[in-house]
Amino acid sequence: MNPKISEFFWIEIYMYFNDHNPPHFHVKYWEYDCYIWIKSLELIEWNLPSKVEKMVLAWAELYQDKLEQEWKLVQDHKQPTKINPLSK
């Protein structure tokens, strides 16, 4: 099962089964990565370039409710659905 839920501008968004609370998603961009809490959109253990950070946070704000739904799916060991990418 692929935990990738979205991808845009070489940015990959993941949610993993059996991941720890609080609800969050993972971001990978080349050699950079971080995870972001869904409720507060706070970056944790981050090292993303500022331009990428702004794009990811804009995307997450648009899909915050959907991200919460996807978190519940993966916690129930169900395959997450894809979320639309951020477009230009």
Q: What is the pLDDT of residue 46?
A: 80
Euclidean distance between CA atoms 78 and 5, whole angstroms: 13
CA angle 58, 7, 13 (to 5 degrees): 75
Is residue 85 predicted with pLDDT exceeding 80? yes
Q: What is the pLDDT of residue 36?
A: 96
Strand partners, 33: 28
* The two three-digit tokens of residue 21, written as one number: 């609370």
Q: What is the pLDDT of residue 83?
A: 96
Among 11, 13, 8, 12, CA closest to 24: 13
Q: What's the pLDDT band for 1 if we cut at 50, 70, 90?
A: low
Residues 22-80 pLDDT 10s: 999 999 999 999 999 999 999 988 889 999 999 999 999 999 999 999 999 999 999 98
Q: For residue 57, which amino acid is it? A: L
